[in-house]
Amino acid sequence: MPKLTIDGREVDVEAGLTILQACQKIGIEIPHFCYHERLSIAGNCRMCLVEMERAPKPVASCAMPVADGMVIRTNTPKVQQMRRGVMEFLLINHPLDCPICDQGGECDLQDQAIGYGYDRSRYAENKRAVKDKYMGPLIKTIMTRCIHCTRCIRFITEVAGIPELGATGRGEDMEVGTYVEKALTSELSGNIIDLCPVGALTSAPYAFTARSWELRPTESVDVLDAVGCNIRVDARGPEVMRVLPRVHEDVNEEWISDKTRFAYDGLKRRRLDRPWVRRDGKLLPATWTDAFAVVAQRVKDAGGKRVAAIAGDLADCESMLALKELMTGLRSPNLDCRQDGAKLDPTLRASYLFNTTIAGIEQAGACLLIGTDPRREAPVLNARLRKRFCVGKFPIGVVGPAGDLTYDVQHLGEDPAVIQEIAAGSHPFAEVLKQAKKPMLIVGQGALTRPDGAAILGMARRIAETCGMIDDEAGWNGFNVLHTAAARVGGLDLGFVPRKNGLDIEGILEGAAAGDIDVVYLLGADEIDMRRLGNAFVVYQGHHGDAGAARADVILPGAAYTEKNGTYVNTEGRVQNGRLAVYPPGEAREDWKILRALSDVLGKPLPYDTLGELRARLIKANPVFARVDVVQPAAWGEFGGDGQVDRAPFVPPIDNFYLTDPISRASLTMARCSEIFITGELGKTGTDA
Amino acid sequence: MKQAFARQPESFEFTPDNMETVKTIVAKYPKGCAASAVLPVLDLAQRQNDGWLPRAAMDRTAEILGMPPIRVYEVASFYSMFNLAPIGKYHVQVCTNLPCWLRGSEQVVGICERTLGISVGETTQDGLFTLSEAECLGACVNAPMMQINDDYFEDLDEASTESILLALKMGQKPRPGPQGGRKGSEPAGGLTTLKAIAGKGDGPEAS
């Protein structure tokens, strides 16, 4: 380990670190713009200059690796002067429009100018002006503010893997942009807004709506996919103003997808803010008491066996547990959380988890994707696959539709028979998996929601077992299910599936159509075919006027994920807590409280009155809920079916990344993205292979 | 920044001969390093396309070399040797950096403008000449100088510059290199050292 002296302190650091990183380790802050720990080193802003003994010139600390015996000084008058000089150069062409700049208040340049800027300019000439660039509906550009740190270019090229940004021209004429008029097609493009150290790239939907110091941050988790990205919800008064990522090394690092970041305007539109009851074919506003009375009457008339409940993709674990226990109280065995019909079974936890964990992808040696398109289903997880791919020696095979996943793959075909061959060991890719150290596979919902899903799951288990993916000694489990719904793992953990002799989703829908099911309780379930509900009496508890609400006979307004303290379990099986950032609109209430109140009216009161009591109950229902933010390795075992697989090609579960749930479908921003990227010209050439 | 030309052709394809050349160029680099060939391939495309690079040519280059198009745009917009808009048959680039300026490059630019009837950055009506100022072209020892297409014209003064341009106008081929009569960059007033072969007089005595 190199030993060096920084500001008179002797420090030992690992070899390969840069001076800047070494300084950060011992708590010395070096100002910088272009350096970013998750991107390659550019060394072009020059802000991080430090003095090094026996070097004729100052060195850029972000680009200089540590070496034994180095003597570094970061706090001498000379260093201060160098920083002031660099800052003065940066400010020569930077406009003084901080009062109207959205970055104002959270701008690296502004902050560092306070430390190193002069209070007046010595520059009397005209400032450089740059034409703004078009980068799509999400990113607003004010390119005159750009200081050419190239972080955005490096992010799009390295992390997102969609090289569309570059620096054209040279010297003073250098400009960052796409050169050709073109929207950025990456699902992670919004992250360049966070990376931009100045106000050159800002959020277009957020433009001029709030100042950073007016916002009230709440640390929460995202529910728009099953990754469970850690987010910060910034609210002002009763309104969510924006969503930003929070660092979580094991989940999302510091990235979030564009849907997570920009779908928040959907939280303000099409909201259900009061109960509604259908009378004579028309939904009419009602009071909670009325609505509950109507529900109670119908449930009483129907009797337990003729009542069914379906939990949707965004439901929190608390409300699912409350609904499950309410159904138990009503003696109804018909409940299901797999509204997409996935052939997953809650008995063995390892059978429905992303066992490798997201961070574990980085240790994998080969990967097989079965019926999944991670770029669309979980963009942040896909970035992790790309990160592993970029390290090298990571063969990836794809069975199913192969679009551009941002890394090279071997397309093994769309025919599910291929996995049969791999399981039997007769396919050459089976050898690739066997040869690799720590191989992994990912089964997507595109494979599991098929009628032969159980057989595919069983086949995937056999591949995992025969190709060395299950290694208890090394603690390696390479079998992974990639979910698309934030509620799914939680629902399975709670056993929100048919009880003995109960009907599953298919049975409920058939029963409703045939008239065997009288009451269907939808807990935010919008992705089922509502026409199949027949003449059943439908109670919809949820937050958006989407498909479910349109079909409902009684609407009970619930809370969206930013409006309740809810527990979610991500695809890895990581229990995380979302937190209330704003209160639900109008008369809407937190979902578990609605169910608790309804249980009283139904005469089957649930045994908890506070969130604390309910959470204790959660832990009782399944001990995994006791440990928040921990992935507990799940035991391996037998699961999946034995049957033959159908030869029909895999169909991706998500055909439109931007519109997947009631929130994003209500979002204008997402609608615009869908128009541009999916149905527009870019969609035709870019996303379809 | 060099502005992209508004009226872009729809497509670009290398001629069969040039395509062969492209293959030869790419073959010079190790496997998987085709991107290294971007400069010569772009140059070839520019020569084929009357001295400028349309976007289609850059896209085609990117396709052939397996690079993202933006990486090719970056290269093409960086180097002053690549033109992103149509250009005259003769691209007159006068060096106006310090050594040439000290030796009278202003006069050279002036006579170019008067002879051609255009200002710096413009192209003549007949499409024959484009005049531009260039940064140091590395021939300071023969300053002032200008580059016309692939040839350097050095040791210029107003008269020689004018005669070069007039010759080109008339379709002749003026002699490139120093215009004052010296060979290459040998001293302007004749040799000052190494005048004789060792031991044969004239030079300083060997002691």
Nearest to A231 by CA among A581, A517, A569, A506: A581
Query: Which residue among A157, A168, A170 sits closest to B73, beta carbon to beta carbon?
Result: A168
Cβ pair A168:B77 closer than 8 A:
yes
Subunit contact A170:B77, Cβ cutoff 8 A: yes
Q: Amino acid identity of A688?
A: D
Q: Which of A175, A178, A180 lies nearest to residue B1, judging by beta carbons?
A: A175
Q: Which of A157, A166, A174 sits opposite B73 (nearest CB)?
A: A166
Residue ranges per domain, chain B? 16-78, 90-178
CB contact under 8 A, B77 and A179: yes
The partner residue sitting opposite B74, judged by closest CB among A168, A173, A180, is A168
Question: How many residues comprise chain A?
Answer: 689
- Listing DSSP states for A254-273 in one string gives T---HHHHHGGGGGGSSB--
CB contact under 8 A, A166 and B71: yes
Residues of chain A found within 8 Å of residue B55, distances taken between Cβ atoms: 180
Name the token pair of A252: 């999302």
In angstroms, rounded to a whole number, what is the distance separating the alpha carbons of residues A336 and A338?
6
Q: Which residues of B have a CB under 8 Å from any CB of A?
A: 1-2, 4, 55, 68-71, 73-74, 77-79
Quote the DSSP letter at residue A206: T
Q: What is the pLDDT of residue B1?
A: 46
What type of residue is A486? A
Chain A contact set for B71 (CB, 8 A)? 163, 166
Can you read off the two tokens belonging to residue B56? 């289609």
Q: What are residue A285's DSSP bridge partners?
A: A276
Q: What is the mean pLDDT of chain A?
A: 94
- The residues near A343 (Cβ < 8 Å, ≥ 6 apart) are A448, A449, A450, A453, A454, A456, A457, A641
pLDDT at A276: 97
Provide the b/e sequence for A138-177 (b: ≥16 CB within 10 Å): bbbbbebbbbbbbbbbbbbbbbbbbbbbbbbbeeeebbbb
In chain A, residues with a C-beta closer than 8 Å to the C-beta of B70 are 163-166, 178-179
Cβ–Cβ pairs < 8 A, chains A and B? 38
Question: Length of chain B in residues, anyone?
Answer: 207
The complex's ipTM works out to 0.89
- Measure B59 CA to nearest chain A CA, in Å: 11
Domain range B90-178, CATH class: alpha beta
**Cβ contact B2–A173 (<8 Å):** yes
> Quick check: A102 and A207 in contact, CB under 8 A?
yes
Taking an 8 Å cut-off on Cβ atoms, the answer to whether B70 and A169 are in contact is: no
Residue type at B1 in one-letter notation: M
- The answer to whether residue B207 scores a pLDDT higher than 90 is no
| Gyration radius from chain A CA atoms | 27
d(CA A487, CA A564): 14
Kindly give the residue spans of alpha helices, DSSP state H, lying in A439-479: 445-448, 453-466
| Nearest CB partner across the interface for A169, out of B68, B69, B78 | B78
Q: Are A85 and A61 in contact (CB under 8 A)?
A: no
CATH architecture of B16-78: Orthogonal Bundle (1.10)
Nearest CA in chain B to A165: B70
Strands A476-477 and A470-471: antiparallel
- The shortest CB-CB distance from A169 to any of B1, B69, B70 is to B1
Q: What is the pTM of this model?
A: 0.93
Q: In the numeric block, which tokens belong to residue A306?
A: 């003729």
Which stretches of chain A sit within 8 Å of chain B by CB? 157, 163-170, 173-175, 178-180
How far apart CA A173 and CA A113 sit, in angstroms, is 24
End-to-end CA distance of chain A: 48
Contact A166 B1 (CB under 8 A): no
Residue with tokens 């011992």: A26
Min Cα–Cα distance to chain B from A163, Å:
6
Find, among A186, A222, A228, A161, the residue nearest to A483 by Cα: A228
Q: Judge contact between A532 and A512, C-beta under 8 A.
A: yes
Residue B173 has pLDDT above 70, yes or no: yes
The pLDDT value recorded for residue A684 is: 53
Residues forming a β-bridge with A3: A12
For tokens 């180097």, what's the residue? B79
Q: Give the separation between CA A564 and CA A559, rounded to whole angstroms.
A: 6
Cis, bond preceding A633 (omega within 30 deg of 0): no
Where chain A has pLDDT below 70, the residues are 681, 683-689
- For A260, phi then psi, to 5°, come to -55, -40
Q: Is the CB of B70 less than 8 angstroms away from the CB of A164?
A: yes
pLDDT of A318 reads: 97
Query: Over the Cα atoms of chain B, what is R_g?
Result: 21
| Res A119: pLDDT | 85
Residues of B in contact with A166 (CB under 8 A): 70-71, 73-74
Neighbours of A331 (CB within 10 A): 12
User: Phi then psi for A435, rounded to 5 degrees?
Assistant: -70, -30
Q: Which residue of A has its CA nearest to B68?
A: A163
CA distance to A481, B3, B134, per residue, from B6 (Å)? 50, 9, 24
Taking contacts as CB-CB distances below 8 angstroms, the residues of chain B near A163 are 68, 70-71
Q: Do A168 and B69 touch (CB under 8 A)?
A: no
**A661 residue type, one letter:** D
